[in-house]
Structure 1
Amino acid sequence: MSQPQNSPISWFRNTAPYINRHRGSTFVIVIPGAVQESGALPRVLYDVALLNSLGVRLVLVFGSRPQIDRRLKELDIDSSLHRGQRITDSNILPHILQVIGAQRIELEALLSLSLPNSPMQDARLRAASGNFVMAQPIGVVDGIDHHLTGRVRRVDVEGMASLLNSGSLVLLSSIGYSPTGEAFNLSLGDVAISTARDLQADKLIILGSTAGVHDSNGTLIKQYAVDQQAIATPGNEEEARLLRIACDACVAGVPRSHIVSSQDPDALLGELFTTDGSGTLVTNRPYEQSRWASIQDVGGVLDLITPLEESGVLLKRSRDLLEAEIGRFRILERDGRIIACAALYPFAEQHSAELACIVSHPHYRGEQRARRLLQELEREALSQGLREVFVLTTQTAHWFLEQGFQEDSRDKLPPSRQALYNLQRNSKVFFKALKLDA
């Protein structure tokens, strides 16, 4: 008996490409102190254990700001920030070290959990921490002496890589060490970005209190390219701060950064193992891009058009024919998956071109992707000196009318195209004159 599409087995099968893609990858996961404060940490570490079991190499960088704030307040010790970073003197540093030490012990204890009937049963995780981050003092900034506040000088890549290769997780705090034997208080973002950059990590994942970054209307931004203009997040300093860390990591060379919710129990795995994710993806290039197809895309295009060929909406093409014509196809690719396509067949002597195989994946229909490809191919036809485009369709006439096409006689088709007209399909013919602003 076949499984329903939304069954756990079907979902598991659909995650296979992501499991294969992530195996052997290196992820740096940022766990701000607020996550530990919220009580979400055990659940987050359950998912960390699952990623480890799937062969992902993991570095966890944990923050401590709310814990340090609380400790200093309890002791009635004044502390100030400059440009978002704590001024750390010799009176404050010992308390910071105590707080971070207690946090590390809690993390190590939770990662050691392997009780029966728990999500980490038989996980047997090994967590390693040490002096992997070398630091130097920030010094005097804007006339303010930062004392024992520092910045990352270098990261011990070989030491961490050795542990990761053996299957261990690496734990990093916001403390760095100097060759003179001093400890420095560092910013969480500096440690995370430097580590992800120097380890050549595949992803930097930042846990926040919300689903990701939202625009000024409160809408979740699913994809953000670092060259975009700044997005306004009024009244939400956390989102703005996490977005800066994510963008800086991408600028430093990390292919992808993700901002996901620590409060949603499905967010981390949903971001990593589904096409649309659950949070905000930050990249140096668009997550969804349009490009001309190549021979490597034949399989993806076939997967897209085969259901419509079987239902009679499209004329069936053999694989050999598609391989020969693949260069005429323009595709929309989302996270490595082809989600829309369209083809352009010029008839230069008649100054016209046929548009064919305009298809969107069922999950992405109604989002203007087919229209986007149509407009791109119309501009391509114009660039080739063509004056009109036409389509043959049996079931999508209204959509083409909405795009400015008008029905006409098949006798108006170029002679070579008329010779190939399939009388049995009895397709309707629509033409559209091209304009320079198309």
Structure 2
Amino acid sequence: MLTLKQIQDNKQEVVERLKIKNFDAEALVDQIVALDNKRKATQAEADALQAEMNSLSKEIGQLFKDGKAAEANAAKDKTAGLKEQIKELTTIQDNTEKELQALLVQLPNLPHSSVPAGKSANDNQIVRDGGQVPTLTNALPHWELARKYDIIDFELGVKLTGAGFPVYKGKGARLQRALINFFLDEATQAGYEEVLPPLMVNEDSGFGTGQLPDKEGQMYHVTLDNLYLIPTAEVPVTNIYRDVILNGSELPVRNCAYSACFRREAGSYGKDVRGLNRLHQFDKVEIVQVAHPDTSYEVLDGMVNHVQSLVSKLGLPWRILRLCGGDMSFASALTFDFEVFSAAQERWLEVSSVSNFETFQSNRLKLRFKEEGDKKTRLAHTLNGSALALPRIMAALLENNQFEGGIRIPEVLVPFCGFDVIN
């Protein structure tokens, strides 16, 4: 959430920068500024009346001591009137605050200056790429390989739950577990502390990272308990630091977490959702950092390099995209997407997004830090990234490593799964 200071001090800049996200903010910003001015004026009026009432209260006692009962009672009557006025102003203030909050949460985060203009994924910029695209003959897509080698059962998932909930079996389940352990070990070696978070969160957590009130329709809602199944471990892990003041010397704070993720994916259909390409439940390892504002973009570069090392070690052809304004999330200031190439589907598959949210989440979270010797607190920057999401990684691994006799397992995964081929 943008701060009122950001909006008041840089009103026109906010409007212009949000145009990069194809968001017309002018009317909304004008409303916010007007309400904030009303809030300040109401507060000033209430403070002045309170000061007058305090002064009168002191006078009343002295008037009684001096035997001026009539004047004292008149002052008491005036004090009662001031109390009523302050009460009315407090009600106006509370209502104004609620209106202001409702408008503030409608404004997306400001895009970083490096974000290109654009309306869709077609306008994203390729930053760099690597790896070798394999040349395959009569390659099978992963859903056919899964059936052939009996490692993922999509029909059984439909029976148990519904479409988008596959069942991993045998070597498929072991390969899934191997990927999770490999990603976690790589993150730990890179200095991230592992946590195992809950798979459900409350409304405050959803609000803190920006899923609420913007994306509640994409989350599974446990209505009886008013809890939400997490769409990513980013939500509970980042909320660990909600209402926390960190020491500046502690930054950056690094966490990684494995979790199942749940997404309704309402409106998704067609060939792009076949097999593992788009699921309602999937596994992912997430990396999260809380960083100093002065160094958060260096931290972002480090996170991007970490994800690049993962896809490189898996031997997958990859590319990194800088997302344009029209393809960015509501909360992000700058996002890099990772894609790997699927030789059988002959298309690029998104496997990770790495983002800097600057103070957008921390303002909602009230996540601050304080430098040693400084009495003032500042909002920290939050960042996160998939390292990695498993479904499309699994799809690309199965498809790109197939040969006539089976599917080869990348060397880095063999110690984790205990086999080097699926056949």
TM tier relative to shorter chain? under 0.3
Structure with more of its chain in helix, by fraction: 2
Query: What TM-score, normalized to structure 1?
Result: 0.24
User: What TM-score do you get using the length of structure 2 for normalisation?
Assistant: 0.25
